[in-house]
Amino acid sequence: MITHHLNDKLLMAYSAGSLPEAFNLVVATHISICDECRARLASFDAIGGALLDQDDSAEMGAQSLSTVMARIKTAGPVAKEKPQTRDAVLPAPLVAAIGGGLDKVQWRAVGGGVRQAILKTSDKATARLLHIPGGVAVPDHGHQGLELTLVLQGAFRDEDGRFGRGDIEIASEEVEHTPVAEPGMDCICLAATDAPLKFRSILPRLAQPFLRI
């Protein structure tokens, strides 16, 4: 049961198509497993539809329709969309971003038993997968920008409650939190941020440029 959802800002920006790629990936992944937010997104898309429908002030070119009809007549059959794949943990948008399932993730140790894999996105924001052994705390950190953390397996707890599979934590600048993975199953999260995290202890701060976290 998902209890932590996307907010309206993120849904509207995703619907409008203006989020950085890393955030788009988190939103698409959350919606893949959250019917509530999928339905909310439909209502934000409907705003886009209503806005589109309102303004007919532009004129199409004189030959526009005949050009389009000619293209339709000469176009080949609609290409079959590639079948989507997912695995037990990773929804389809993540499998596409990684180029495979969980076994294809290139993990790197970042200390304390925590591993991460940075995903390739535009440089406006960073997306990474985190693998946190059960019972382990992620270093205490505050934020400069926005950080989204989506749980894919296991669960973590912090000052804002418990986050299990599908739950998304939206942490803005004010938030300083200490997420701890629940004992038991390792916790796998997709995290995205539009600013480097600042760790409060000196050692991780020194390591930050190398770890890209």
Distance, in Å, from the CA atom of 208 to the CA atom of 213, rounded to the nearest integer, reads 6
Stretch that binds other proteins, among 49-57, 99-107, 159-167, 197-205 (CB under 8 A): 49-57
Give the C-alpha separation, 18 to 13, whole Å: 5
- The single residue among 3, 84, 106, 201 that binds other proteins, judged by CB under 8 A, is 84
Indicate which single residue of 68, 185, 195, 203 sits in contact with other proteins (rule: CB under 8 A): 68
Sequence-separated contacts (24+) of 10-19 with Cβ below 8 Å: 10/148, 10/170, 11/37, 11/40, 11/41, 11/44, 12/44, 12/47, 14/41, 14/44, 15/41, 15/44, 15/45, 15/47, 15/48, 16/48
Residue 28 binds other proteins, judged by CB under 8 A: yes
Q: Are 154 and 187 in contact (CB under 8 A)?
A: yes
In the complex, the smallest distance separating the C-beta of residue 165 from other proteins, rounded to whole angstroms, is 15
Residues 119-158 that bind other proteins (CB under 8 A): 121-122, 124, 146
Residues 179-198 that bind other proteins (CB under 8 A): none
The binding site for other proteins (CB under 8 A) comprises 7-10, 12-21, 23-25, 28-29, 31-33, 35-36, 38-62, 64-69, 71-72, 75, 78, 84, 86, 91-93, 96-97, 121-122, 124, 146
